[in-house]
Amino acid sequence: MDHGASSSSMATCKISMLWNWYTIDACFLSPSWQITSHGAFAATCIGVMLMVVLLEFLRRLGKEYDQHISRQFAARVGVIVNAGSSPSSASASAPAAARCSSSARDGGGEPTVVTFRASPLEQFIRAVIHAATFGLAYIIMLLAMYYNGYIIICILIGALLGKFLCDWMTCKVVIGQPGADAKGSAAAAGIDEPTVCCG
C-alpha cells in the first residue's frame, strides 16, 4: 500500500519530440531539472532568456577582445613608423610577446606589410571565450530540441534582448580623406559586422 502511494506520488517527466506546451512535470536536460510548480517554470523561462543574453554578451566580448588586440598591433606599427626602425627590431623591443614579421619591396614604392601574431596568453583567452560561447550555444540548442513552445519563445526573446543590449551597432565613416573613395574609407574605418548565429 505504501509502495503504491509512493509510486503514484512520483511525477513522471513529460518529454515530447513534437511541438508541445508542457509546463508542470516538464523535464529539461536531466531528470533533476523537472518542473514541479508554475513558479519553477517561470524561473526556468527567465533563466533561459538570461542564457541567450549571456551568449550574445560572450560573442560581443570575443569581438571586442579581438579588436583590442588589433588596436595593440596598430599601436606597435605606429611606434615602428615613428621610430624609423625595422619592424623586426621594434618588435623585439616591444613589451608584448607577440611575434612580428615584415615583407617589403625596395625601390618600388610598395607598402610594407607587418604581420603580428597573438601571444600565447592572448590566444588562450580567445580560445576560452570561444569555448564558453560554443558550449553555451549547444546547451541552448539542446533546450530548443525539447520543442517546448514556451522555451522556444523565451529563446527568441533572449536573442532579441541580447542583440539589443550587447551588440549596439556603431559605424565610423571618414569624410574627406584624400585619395580614398567612400568604400575604401568605410573599410579602413572598420565597420562592425553583425553578429551571426553560429554557436
pLDDT classification of 152: cutoffs 50, 70, 90: very high
Share of the chain above pLDDT 70, in %: 70
In tens, the pLDDT along 76-112 reads: 887 777 776 554 544 444 444 445 555 544 445 677 7
b/e for 85-123, b at 16 or more Cβ within 10 A?
Answer: eebeebbeebebebebeeeeeeeeeeeeebebebeeebe
Q: Supply the pLDDT for residue 85.
A: 53
CA 9, 28, 152 angle in degrees (round to 5)? 125
Does residue 16 carry a pLDDT above 80? yes
What gap in Å lies between CA 135 and CA 129, rounded to an integer? 10
**Which of the pair, 121 or 193, is modelled with greater confidence?**
121
Q: Supply the pLDDT for residue 116.
A: 85
**Which of the pair, 137 or 7, is modelled with greater confidence?**
137
Q: Supply the pLDDT for residue 121.
A: 95
Return the H-helix or E-strand segment holding 28. Answer: strand 27-28
pLDDT, mean over the chain: 78
In tens, the pLDDT along 32-56 reads: 999 999 999 999 999 999 999 999 9
What are the sequence ranges of the domains in the chain? 2-189
What gap in Å lies between CA 53 and CA 63, rounded to an integer? 16
Does residue 13 carry a pLDDT above 50? yes
Mean pLDDT across the stretch 6-10?
42
In tens, the pLDDT along 169-199 reads: 888 888 876 554 444 443 333 334 443 444 4
What gap in Å lies between CA 173 and CA 189, rounded to an integer? 6
Q: Supply the pLDDT for residue 56.
A: 96
Mean pLDDT across the stretch 114-133?
93
